């Protein structure tokens, strides 16, 4: 099977090198990006093991490291970069103090990303041997291959680092396949000649049906759409002395809000809600369970149970804005304090959140305090309302009016749950009631909307 793997979001595949950035993406001998076959195989095995829990067909297909184990029936090639232009960027990150919203000391880092829209060649070989596949296992193997195709074409596969913060989403396009059947002795010579003459670019590869793509059945999906009435400013800096002092962050040449920024905004909104309700401890526990946590001690890392996608701001325009720093005592201009910014003005932005229906077993909190996924979704709905009503700004320069958004659409799965529009939007209690009640019970508050 062959096709084109396209990056639907930025991709981080670390190489262990740190000459240019703290994290550099892996490259081949020619300096071109590639996706290791081991990475593709590992992620697919993990996804299929979750989807087909208890089914031994996954172990049979991918092989097992046992004394009586057998080799894998699936062979994955390294996915080499097929795009002519190699597009990448180095992004800056910084840890923020949750109370003051200022940068923590010595917590700045940077990492290299492969930009969205890059294409890699995908090649997979399936070898079904008579000693491995009985007649009863053949149908299960066909179903497994269909699952692999649905995962790849449906965008359910994320690879590399920061997958829960919008990175690493890849989609298989133009899937094609060729079959070589050596089971009949009378056709072995003919099939052998076909196999020897086969090339991956050959016309022997026939298109595969990709009409039934994989849906996110293991996640509760939230989708919000915000209007930007003013400006949004997630700072990015340039080394060009002729460029503005700071510009709005861009991804693939388009203004965007990274998943890391969205996650920080949502955490801050939840923290504020907890203080307002007098449920600081319970909300802190909910936040840790939802977003994960990294501790300094051994075994102190806990995976996130939410995926926060990166968002491109559509129909926006960037404008330079020059201003002075004013001396607070004299009211005059402070010397050498003229600076130019370039925020993103107008447009609209969409945000997608995926919350796991079953949380990871390893949790940063004790088992008795772990909130249900429904309670977490209910709290997230309230946080999205705060963002959409301008209570919780997004990005920097909030003190001068940046980052105020207006919520105009909110859906849970395929169902709209927004009860109003414009100023003072609220949730439809009928559609969102189950989640709000779960959040209320966990936080000790009966009514939340």
The confidence band for 421, taking pLDDT boundaries of 50, 70 and 90, is low
Asked if pLDDT for residue 410 goes beyond 90, the answer is yes
Residues 6+ apart with CB under 8 A from 265: 387, 392, 393, 394
Mean pLDDT of all residues in 160-183: 91
User: Which pLDDT score is estimated for 101?
Assistant: 64
Q: Are the CB atoms for 164 and 292 separated by under 8 Å?
A: yes
Q: Are the CB atoms for 27 and 120 separated by under 8 Å?
A: no
More confident residue, 286 or 103: 286
Highest mean predicted confidence (pLDDT) among 99-108, 156-165, 182-191: 156-165
More confident residue, 7 or 64: 7
Asked if pLDDT for residue 251 goes beyond 80, the answer is yes
User: Which pLDDT score is estimated for 21?
Assistant: 82
Asked if pLDDT for residue 375 goes beyond 70, the answer is yes
**Please, what is the average pLDDT of the chain?**
86
Asked if pLDDT for residue 347 goes beyond 60, the answer is yes
Mean pLDDT of all residues in 250-273: 93
Mean pLDDT of all residues in 102-125: 87
Asked if pLDDT for residue 367 goes beyond 70, the answer is no
More confident residue, 288 or 137: 288
Q: Could you give the CA distance from residue 407 to residue 426 in angstroms, rounded to a whole number?
A: 10
Asked if pLDDT for residue 145 goes beyond 70, the answer is yes
User: Which pLDDT score is estimated for 80?
Assistant: 94
Asked if pLDDT for residue 420 goes beyond 70, the answer is no
User: Which pLDDT score is estimated for 391?
Assistant: 92
| Cβ atoms < 10 Å from Cβ of 98 | 12
User: Which pLDDT score is estimated for 215?
Assistant: 54
Mean pLDDT of all residues in 218-242: 89
More confident residue, 201 or 250: 250
Q: What is the three-class DSSP state of 270?
A: helix
Asked if pLDDT for residue 226 goes beyond 90, the answer is yes
User: Which pLDDT score is estimated for 210?
Assistant: 64
User: Which pLDDT score is estimated for 423?
Assistant: 54
User: How would you label 365-395 residue by residue, b for 16+ Cβ within 10 Å and e otherwise?
Assistant: eeeeebbbbbbbbbbbbbbbbbbbbbebbbb
Q: What is the pLDDT of residues 295-334, one digit of tens each?
A: 766 566 788 999 999 999 999 999 998 888 888 888 888 8
Residue 429 — φ and ψ, nearest 5°?
Answer: -65, -30
Mean pLDDT of all residues in 87-98: 79
Q: Could you give the CA distance from residue 229 to residue 232 in angstroms, rounded to a whole number?
A: 9
Asked if pLDDT for residue 439 goes beyond 90, the answer is yes
Q: Could you give the CA distance from residue 354 to residue 352 in angstroms, rounded to a whole number?
A: 7
Residue 418 — φ and ψ, nearest 5°?
Answer: -90, 125
Asked if pLDDT for residue 214 goes beyond 70, the answer is no
Q: Could you give the CA distance from residue 381 to residue 373 in angstroms, rounded to a whole number?
A: 12
226, β-bridge pairs = 349, 407
Residue (of 115, 153, 152) closest to 9 by Cα position = 115
- Global pTM reads 0.85
Asked if pLDDT for residue 69 goes beyond 80, the answer is no
């Amino acid at each position: 099977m062959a096709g084109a793997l396209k990056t639907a979001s930025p991709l981080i595949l670390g190489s262990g090198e740190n000459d240019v950035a703290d994290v550099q993406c892996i490259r081949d001998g020619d300096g071109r990006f590639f996706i290791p076959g081991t990475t593709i195989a590992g992620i697919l095995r993990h996804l299929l093991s979750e989807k087909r829990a208890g089914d031994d067909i996954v172990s049979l297909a991918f092989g097992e490291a046992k004394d009586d184990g057998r080799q894998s029936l699936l062979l994955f090639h390294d996915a080499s970069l097929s795009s002519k232009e190699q597009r990448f960027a180095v992004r800056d990150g910084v840890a923020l103090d949750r109370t003051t919203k200022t940068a923590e000391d010595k917590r700045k880092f940077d990492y290299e990303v492969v930009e969205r829209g890059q294409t890699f060649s995908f090649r997979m070989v399936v070898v079904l041997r008579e000693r491995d596949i009985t007649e009863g296992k053949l149908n299960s193997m066909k179903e497994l291959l269909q699952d692999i195709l649905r995962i790849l074409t449906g965008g359910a596969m994320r690879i590399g680092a920061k997958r829960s913060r919008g990175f690493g989403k890849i989609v298989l396009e133009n899937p094609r396949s060729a079959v070589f059947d050596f089971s009949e002795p009378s056709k072995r010579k003919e099939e052998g000649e076909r196999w020897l003459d086969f090339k991956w670019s050959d016309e022997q590869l026939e298109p595969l049906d990709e009409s039934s793509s994989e849906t996110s059945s293991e996640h509760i999906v939230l989708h919000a759409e915000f209007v930007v009435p003013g400006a949004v400013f997630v700072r990015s800096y340039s080394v060009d002395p002729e460029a503005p002092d700071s510009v709005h962050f861009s991804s693939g040449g388009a203004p965007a809000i990274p998943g890391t920024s969205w996650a920080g905004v949502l955490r801050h909104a939840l923290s504020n809600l907890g203080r307002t309700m007098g449920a600081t401890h319970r909300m802190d526990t909910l936040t840790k369970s939802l977003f994960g946590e990294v501790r300094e001690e051994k075994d102190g890392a806990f995976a996130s149970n939410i995926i926060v996608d990166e968002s491109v701001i559509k129909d926006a325009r960037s404008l330079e804005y020059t201003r002075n720093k004013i001396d607070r005592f004299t009211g005059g201009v402070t010397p050498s304090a003229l600076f130019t910014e370039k925020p993103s003005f107008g447009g609209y932005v969409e945000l997608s959140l995926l919350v796991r229906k079953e949380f990871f077993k390893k949790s940063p909190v004790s088992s008795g305090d772990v909130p249900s996924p429904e309670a977490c979704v209910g709290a997230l709905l309230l946080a999205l309302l705060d963002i959409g009503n301008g209570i919780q700004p997004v990005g920097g320069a909030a003190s001068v009016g940046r980052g105020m958004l207006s919520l105009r659409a909110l859906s849970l799965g395929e169902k709209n749950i927004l009860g109003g529009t414009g100023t003072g939007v609220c949730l439809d209690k009928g559609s969102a009631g189950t989640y709000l009640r779960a959040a209320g019970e966990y936080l000790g508050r009966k009514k939340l909307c």
